[in-house]
Amino acid sequence: MRILSKQPRLAWSPFVASFNPVLALWTLLAITAVKGAAVPLRVGDSERDISFSGTCYTDAVILYSLATYLVSNFAIHATTIPVGADIGRYSQRVTRQDGWQWNIWLFIISLFLPFFALSRTSILIAQQFRCHGNGVLIALQHGGIIVVVRNESWEPGPEDQIVFVRLPEDFDSESQDEKPLPPAVIALDKEGEPKAYQEALHCEHKLHGVAAPPPGYSLAVPVRRGYTELLIRNYLNDTTKLTVHHRPGIVGAILSVIQICIGTYNLYSAQSSQIPRWGYAAYSLSVLPYVIMSVMNLLCAALVDSYACAQLLRTPILEESVCRSLAGDQTDMTEYDGTIGTVKKEYMPDRAQVGQSGQDGYVAVRMRTRTILTTSGTPHKFLKADQRGDGATIEANLKPARFTVSALNHEGPSPQKEVVKADAITQLEIMTLVCLFLVAMIVPSAVIYALTHFRANDSTVAQRAWMMAWLAADQFSACSTLACWVLWKKRQNVIPDWLQKSFYGVLMTTGVGGFVQVVHMYLQDHDYGLQKCSI
């Protein structure tokens, strides 16, 4: 068994996965335009245009221009959303091997509802601020941390070890009487650590380094982060100066700047080219939410850490698994390579004193298991538990005596009041979110009023209805995303995926209708289909 440190491995960015749909869209639209392009045919001394699919060369250029307009003003924005960090329960998907599927869903919903992405990005920025530059806590909040926990099959090893447990009722290790003893049951304290973590397999996640825990231990992704945050603050040496590797957001920043410039130019030019005709339904006004979102994406790329792989946190439970490996079978394949953090010396597993009190009624006990052969030759396992420290022990081998252990914390679960406090939304997060959401809710309507005074001009009722419904649904998606995050922080309630996707699917129908109106108005502005084509 070994514990080493190594440089971060190169990994393909999840950005690539989310960028592929844009390339596919661009290719499809470009092929469509090219197929409609005219091909010159020489007949005698004259050259004439032959059109494919009934579309002349000028119309093909218009289609290509439309494709460029849609990609540069809308699709580029969707490719810059952060995928190396996430919020709430979805942070568990950041480092998953199949995370690209979630990234495609984020791309699709952000394409039709940019303020959904704005809400998500705003929360990421707020989470970044709450950690005050502590790289380990930032990685924890964004989904870049994995820990080692005890699992259901955990039991003490064959050698004496100090374990904090909640003892069975009427437990007495001082009794020297020869009497039948109950069978021992070792259980994890699920009531003391509700939703604290979710067990994971190494093959399911992109992990920096190597993590192969011994039997009785598993990798886990923190879910309710207050438990792990208290573990970091109380049991690890100062992590404020510890740098956790994260990838820079250079590509996302560049694309955001490009989209901001193009979108701002189109908004400016709409005053003379579109608003006089279409009024407040002008299609370039629909670019405004995407420009605002690109500004947020630019801030996110500059401020928020993004993770290509998870980092394994060194905790007392991990150290306990190391000791178990060293004292066990020499063929044990336990290996940890690339861990971060160091456990305080006083909280190392072998530093506790027998009888010492832990948290939530836990007490330090010397424990081990022993296997003997019965008279019939059948192996029988005994649990030895000693809370005195002078060698007096009992062996449990007959009515269940329940020994409760914590899966995540060596000394027992953190008090619920402290966990609730650690999970609470901070004042800094509230201020950040309020400021960003005020901008998102007020700026679009203010700009539209300033440019159009909400005059209809020559736009139809359907055009105005679709464009305003799109904006309203977009802003509602931002509010609902924030509400779901607050609900998760306070109650850890999980909305079923099918319900959430159905909800956003309904809201995205307004985006589909809005895009149809954008295409329709754009083609009318450029006289598509009115060209005369010679055959």
Residue 531 lies in a domain: no
Q: Are residues 76 and 223 in the same domain?
A: no
**Count of domains forming the chain:** 2
**N- to C-terminal Cα distance for the chain?**
78
Q: Are residues 219 and 336 in the same domain?
A: yes
pTM beyond 0.85, yes or no: no
Q: Are 414 and 230 in contact (CB under 8 A)?
A: yes
Q: Are residues 114 and 252 in the same domain?
A: yes
Q: Are residues 410 and 449 in the same domain?
A: no
pLDDT of residue 375: 65
Q: Are residues 154 and 119 in the same domain?
A: no
Helix, coil or strand: residue 335: strand
Q: Are residues 102 and 162 in the same domain?
A: no
Q: How far is CA 52 from the centre of its chain?
A: 47
Residue 182 lies in a domain: yes
pLDDT of residue 17: 43
Q: Which amino acid is at 370?
A: R
Q: Are residues 282 and 194 in the same domain?
A: no
How many CB atoms within 10 Å of residue 476? Answer: 15
Residue 285 lies in a domain: yes
Residue 32 lies in a domain: yes
- Name beta bridge partners: 3: 336
Q: Are residues 262 and 351 in the same domain?
A: no
pLDDT of residue 167: 85
Q: Are residues 390 and 511 in the same domain?
A: no
Helix, coil or strand: residue 378: coil
Domain final residue, candidates 363, 395, 421? 421
pLDDT of residue 471: 96
Residue 253 lies in a domain: yes
Domain final residue, candidates 392, 421, 450? 421
C-alpha 247/C-alpha 301 separation (Å) is 10
Q: Are residues 125 and 215 in the same domain?
A: no
Mean pLDDT, each 10-residue run in order, the chain (535 residues): 42 41 45 38 40 64 94 91 91 92 94 95 95 94 95 87 84 52 80 90 91 93 94 94 87 92 93 93 95 93 92 94 70 82 88 83 86 67 69 50 89 92 94 90 93 94 96 95 91 82 95 96 86 54
Q: Are residues 402 and 282 in the same domain?
A: no
Dihedral, CA of residue 89, residue 87, residue 93 and residue 510, to nearest 10: 100
Q: Are residues 254 and 236 in the same domain?
A: no
Domain final residue, candidates 421, 448, 481? 421
C-alpha 39/C-alpha 44 separation (Å) is 16
Residue 358 lies in a domain: yes
pLDDT of residue 528: 84
Joined together, the tokens standing for residue 223 give 């879910």
pLDDT of residue 238: 94
What is the domain extent for residue 465?
15-130+247-304+425-525
pLDDT of residue 176: 44
